[in-house]
Amino acid sequence: MAWRFKASKYKNAAPIVPKAEACVREICVGSYQTYGNNIAASAAFMAFNWEHSGASVAVLPLDDCGRKSKTMPLLHGHTDTVTDLKFSPFHDGLLATASQDCLVKIWHIPEKGLEQSLSDPEAVFSHKQRRVETVGFHPTADGLMYSTAAGCVALFDIAAQKEIFSNNEHPEVIQSASWREDGTVLATSCKDKCVRIFDPRAEGSPIQMLAESHQSIKDSRVVWLGNQSRILTTGFDAARLRQVIIRDIRNFNTPEKTLELDCSTGILMPLFDPDTNMLFLAGKGDTTINYLEITDKDPYLIEGLRHTGEQTKGACLVPKRALKVMEAEVNRVLQLTSNMVIPIMYQVPRKTYRDFHADLYPETTGYKTELIASEWLVGTNQPVPKMNLDPAKREHGDEPIIPRLGPKPFSSNTGDVSFDKVFAVPVAPGSHENISSVGQENCSETPTQGAKPDLIVEIEIKKNHEREPNVAGNGNGNGNGNGVQKSLTTSERRKSSADDDESSDKIFEQNSESSENSTEGEDRTDADLRRFSAVRSSIAERRRVYESRSKSQVDEKAQSPVPLRRESSKVEPLKPSGNSNVIPSAGIDSKRISVPEGKLLEEHRRGNGAAGLKKSATEAAFSAASTKRTSTVFGKVSKFRHLKGTPGHKSTHIENLRNLSRQIPGECNGFHANHERVAVPLSGPGGKIAIFELSRPGRLPDGVIPSLVNGSNIMDFQWDPFDAQRLAVACDDGIVKLWRIDEGGLSEPTNAPQGELTAHLDKIYFIRFHPLAADVLLTASYDMTIKLWNLRTMQEMCTLTGHTDQIFDFAWSPCGKLGASVCKDGKIRVYNPRKSETPIREGNGPVGTRGARITWALEGHYIVCTGFDKVSERQISVYNAQKLTAPLNTASLDVSPSILIPYYDEDSSTLFVTGKGDSTIYCYEITDEEPYICPLSHHRCSSLHQGLSFLTKNHCDVASVEFSKAYRLTNTTIEPLSFTVPRIKSELFQDDLFPPTRITWSATLSADDWFGCNDKAAAKVSLKPEGMDTLSSIQQVSAAVKKPDHSQFASKSDYESNKQQEIQKSVSARMEYTTKLEQDEMEGVDENEWQE
């Protein structure tokens, strides 16, 4: 049979994605502009970049799973983004990290993993003010590491802690490097579009071969195909198509195979397994991972099954000795996403998995070598011994392969540096207990990781080289391990401050007193109550009780309980003790009430339906503690988490819009509405703005649309917040035109504004009205100044300076005293315009240069900024208004060119963000505690929109629980959009959702008063309609569940016993009663027969 018709053993290898519970979840990963894969794995651990800056590294056991806390131990060793990281092939606990801070650091991971954050590496190597791009280990020589920075290739002897080779002959940045499996030569791909074969030990120039590679200047990658004489590169061709090229070094200038894929922009990361010739191509930003098999004859690349899933941030292969060979797992890809690490198993289908399939597992490269760096440098080549993956051919059979966890700490006091002394490793014990201790929070599966103990070199270790054992934390470091800390929501905090007499901050708390054990004298009802007090130790039970209580509104004042704050992941789970009914006391705030046990039991049964209590309190508490991680404690629960966006009926739409302008600058929102009319820019010359009356919905007639003709290109426009008939329009000639719309709207085009303000000599970026003072207008110009105007006198009042680049946005604080701006130079500035022309505070903002928006939140204590990161991924950042040094938290959304435009509803603390051309309105709650940005239910529209404009609070239909109302501009329509909260008793005024709101639709003070520093706070008004009862005023008529009285049950028990005796007497009087049994008269066998 011809070879091309012979099916490969790995042809049908299928990707198997585990359930979410078996993945590492709730991690924080950003988008990094690096040449590395952002994740690496050994047979014992996985390591990946952490947080959006990427300066820290998370290290977890290889088979770890579950949710991860932001307080988990990390490697804090770099001051800038970690560009690449690799594990040693001979020590599973030896990790090398390279960073943009020009340093390469060596880390030793303890056998049990990271129990506390590390900031002191074992060794540090510097590239002298050059950003390090890649790092890795030599495949055959132990302790030999390479790294690249700019056009330099450097080799380091880790044991001696010195650089042993350096070469700068690459003219551009080296983007990727890969060793041949025998460790003789190195292949590099460079930004100059060339690929090179590099021999550090060669006499003369180390560059042995050079060939032109991918013709695009974008990133490329290279990988050596095992021990073959071929290399594979990935990149882009001149037409920006993604490309794969295979070259044979015996004919280096001519590609052996060229394969064009697609026009995606994601950089292809090649992951190659030399044992099976399986190649995985994972593109950064892609949702697919391609599997191809490489052959030594045409067609060279045979495509296999493609995996489609989450968006990829990074990927790596797991070492072969960590695979589940008894499940026919031939490879495992760790896929790094924005919030998960997904282990994708590639399994070959077989009829049975009871036997070891030797044909799938050829001997693989081992983990032990006798070659060291100094020997390799002088010309010694020695292959790494192979190892068999068959459990039956191992000394310990089916026992897990013991990981070899790496070097002892480097000693700077030792005169002669011996590699054997530095890397002396004790023989790893071969017990299951020690293996499971590597990750106590791992899944139930037995890990198969590390190295066989019979192949580990036993080296006698001197005491002065031994590492002291790490002391594990006691788990109580957070100080909150005894309870759940409570906090108020924004709406409840506002209501409590507005009305001190009727407090709305009732807290659902645990009983801090210890419960006594049940005795025989207690009745069943009392025992149930006693037992249920221990169920509150279970997070799941507390959550069900909490949710049922918040929905049922059975409190005396019908107040919803305050959401609970997420517990730290360091809290130790509950453990069985002598008194299982004792409840740990919780930290108590100043305002707190206790829920009676009877009411708690009633609510628990109501929340669980007919199922009731299925297990005793002790069993529930202990099972929850043993099966759930402490990081799964539920976090903040928002009353607006189930908000619903509903478009208005078609009869309320304005249809047949035409000639919408697509040339509006990015600083302009492009659409503004008030409660009477909307303004929409039109395309064409003259700077036209169409005005449509909301009172006249329907289809617009064909023909000329009545509009405002400005005569110059429109830069920005905005309605006066206190006058629905006045519109301000900024033009590119530096003039602001003030238009007044007559009652009934426009009947024909007009070019006669009510007034003109020559604000700047250059173009205007945007204009902003003051939120409290009438006739106060702010303008920002291309001359990088911001001016404040009194429109009553048409005079300039003050000028703000300090910007060094394009001004993206400006926002007034709710009090109207301060203002914040975001600039293209990556800075956020806070101004007090009436006291200083320069900023009073300054901090770092979004690093992207596409655009940004800014707004205030939580009564002016926080600032929310939307923008882009380095790779144009849209993000939302929250800052403390008093400390702008770094964001408190950053949430990433997606990669899109449109700027996120925010709208903040201060009463509900809800942030709505969307962009031009989007179809989704993202909703978040901004809080004053971690994580500061809480996602709510996002609203997905049926079509793309070009703009979104919200109305003031007094135009919401609160009777229908509408807490926000907006108008949405599409390509052809203007649609109303209502945001409501589902409530059962919607006939009542939901005063927990609608606190007294600030009056922002009428002026609080005049322009003269504001410029004269005569500040005045905005008045507040209740939105409660007349004749509508409030939810908190309705008292639920329910019988109080009291604790049973022992005396009542005792009297009832006496009555029942007397009644039973009377029945027995009446029965005995009518029939013969005897206590003798039939077997009493039977004779049994002798006693001695029982002894035989």
User: Could you list the mean pLDDT of each consecutive 10-residue stretch along the chain, which spans 1092 residues?
Assistant: 64 91 90 89 93 88 90 88 93 92 92 88 86 93 93 92 91 93 93 91 89 89 92 91 92 91 88 94 91 90 90 93 91 93 93 88 90 91 90 60 46 42 41 37 38 34 38 39 43 48 38 38 43 44 48 38 37 38 35 37 40 40 37 58 91 92 89 94 90 92 89 93 94 93 89 91 93 95 93 92 93 95 94 93 89 94 92 90 91 88 93 93 92 91 92 91 94 94 86 90 93 91 87 57 49 70 75 67 69 62
What pLDDT, on a 0 to 100 scale, did the predictor assign at position 313?
92
What CA–CA distances, in Å, run from 68 to 74, 483, 541, 631, 787?
Answer: 12, 20, 22, 7, 48
- Count how many Cα atoms sit within 13 Å of the Cα of residue 1023 in the half-sphere of its side chain: 27
Residue 708 to residue 748: CA distance in whole angstroms: 9
- Domain 641-657+805-983 and domain 661-800, same fold? Reply is yes
Q: Is the dihedral of CA 521, 523, 524, 526 positive or negative?
A: negative
β-strands 162-167, 174-179 pairing: unpaired
Residue 166 to residue 1003: CA distance in whole angstroms: 70
Phi-psi region of 549 (alpha: psi -120 to 50; beta: other; left: phi over 0): alpha
Domain boundaries along the sequence of the chain: 504-632, 641-657+805-983, 661-800
What pLDDT, on a 0 to 100 scale, did the predictor assign at position 1009?
92
Chain position carrying tokens 């009802």: 525
What pLDDT, on a 0 to 100 scale, did the predictor assign at position 1085?
67
Kindly give, in sequence order, each residue whose CB lies less than 8 Å from that of residue 368, ignoring residues fewer than 6 positions away.
Answer: 90, 384, 385, 451, 455, 456, 457
Instruction: Please give, one letter per residue, the 3-state secondary structure of 422-465.
Output: HCCCCCCCCCHHHHHCCCCCCCCCCCCCCECHHHCCCCCCCHHH
Strand partners, 341: 24, 336
Type and span of the H or E element at 863: strand 862-868
Residue 822 to residue 867: CA distance in whole angstroms: 10
β-strands 94-99, 103-108 pairing: antiparallel
Task: Give which of 461, 436, 460, 433 is closest to 447, Cα–Cα.
Answer: 436
Residue 735 to residue 712: CA distance in whole angstroms: 9
Which two tokens mark 566? Answer: 């997420």
What CA–CA distances, in Å, run from 1089 to 951, 1079, 1085, 1086, 1092?
Answer: 99, 20, 7, 6, 6
Residue 766 to residue 807: CA distance in whole angstroms: 9
Beta strands in 226-363 (DSSP E): 230-236, 242-248, 255-260, 268-273, 278-283, 288-294, 301-303, 307-308, 314-317, 329-336, 340-347
Strand partners, 730: 716, 736
Residue length of the chain? 1092
What pLDDT, on a 0 to 100 scale, did the predictor assign at position 530?
42
β-strands 947-950, 997-998 pairing: unpaired
Chain position carrying tokens 């307080």: 71
Kindly give, in sequence order, each residue whose CB lies less than 8 Å from that of residue 345, ignoring residues fewer than 6 positions away.
Answer: 15, 16, 18, 324, 327, 329, 332
Type and span of the H or E element at 495: helix 490-498
∠ CA 511-515-519 to the nearest 5 degrees?
155
Residue 156 to residue 166: CA distance in whole angstroms: 9
What pLDDT, on a 0 to 100 scale, did the predictor assign at position 578?
39
Question: 166 in helix, strand or coil?
Answer: strand
What CA–CA distances, in Å, run from 576 to 580, 621, 625, 626?
Answer: 7, 9, 9, 10
β-strands 654-655, 698-699 pairing: parallel
Answer CATH for 641-657+805-983 from 1.10.3720.10, 3.40.50.970, 2.30.30.60, 2.130.10.10: 2.130.10.10
DSSP letters along 608-620, please? HGGG---S-HHHH
Helix axes 524-535, 597-608, angle to 10 degrees: 80
Task: Give which of 532, 592, 537, 540 is closest to 562, Cα–Cα.
Answer: 592
Type and span of the H or E element at 843: strand 841-844
What pLDDT, on a 0 to 100 scale, did the predictor assign at position 351?
86
CB atoms within 10 A of CB 894: 14
What pLDDT, on a 0 to 100 scale, did the predictor assign at position 721?
94
Residue 1073 to residue 544: CA distance in whole angstroms: 55
Question: 69 in helix, strand or coil?
Answer: coil
Residue 495 to residue 511: CA distance in whole angstroms: 27
What burial letters (b/e) apply to 203-217, b meaning 16+ CB within 10 Å?
A: eeebbeebbebbebe
CATH topology for the 661-800 domain: Methylamine Dehydrogenase; Chain H (2.130.10)
Residue 829 to residue 806: CA distance in whole angstroms: 13
Question: 645 in helix, strand or coil?
Answer: strand
